[in-house]
Amino acid sequence: MPPETLPIEFLRAAAEHQAPEAQLHALHLAMVRAHVTALPAGTKLPTLADLSAVLGITETSLTSALRRLDLEGEIAYSYRGHRYRLGPGEQHPFDVALDRSVRDGIREGKHRPGDALPTGILAQRHGLDIEAVPRALRGVIRDDLVTDRDGPAGRAFYVRDPQEAVLDQVRASL
């Protein structure tokens, strides 16, 4: 999608209070995001060369933007190297094992309420970059098993107390 067809709010957001390189990076990310999120879930993305030509940006900038969208769970890379669009709320395929491990750990008492999850260990054990951990934990956060907050270990992902989760739901309904 050429820059002139992007909504003006994308362009303004990209330009505010940033160095020129950061402005360009934000613009390219907005362009790639707009193009990719317009695709139906499950759609295989075009090759880097084709997508670069369509958007009018370098493959280096495109790769950086696609990496960001992968970390946000908008797209996924298959084991064969293809990129495809994930659906809303769809779990990234590389996150399944970590999600299952956290759920099992909570159920088995390895991760107790109030415990900070050992995210570095979990990432390494399941072959994820540490930057992908927030994406991998989206399901357990959505299911109120884990919360991202400040606590005794600093900012971390903490196992929620089931009673605390119920109280939060009651408060939200009032």
Q: What six digits make up the tokens of 136?
A: 């991998």
Of 85, 113, 128, which closes a domain?
A: 85
Q: Where are the beta strands (DSSP E) in 16-82?
A: 75-77
Of 85, 117, 136, which closes a domain?
A: 85
Q: How many helices (H) and strands (E) does the chain have?
A: 9, 4
Are residues 46 and 13 part of one domain?
Answer: yes
Sign, CA dihedral 40-131-58-49, equals: negative
- Print the domain residue range for 16: 3-85
Residue 36: which CATH number? 1.10.10.10
More confident residue, 19 or 141: 141
Range with lowest mean pLDDT among 4-13, 36-45, 90-99, 153-162: 4-13
Q: Model's pTM, two decimal places?
A: 0.78
In degrees and rounded to multiples of 5, residue 103 shows phi and psi of -60, -45
| Share above pLDDT 70 across residues of the chain, in percent, rounded to a whole number | 89
Q: How far apart are CA 121 and CA 137, in angstroms?
A: 14
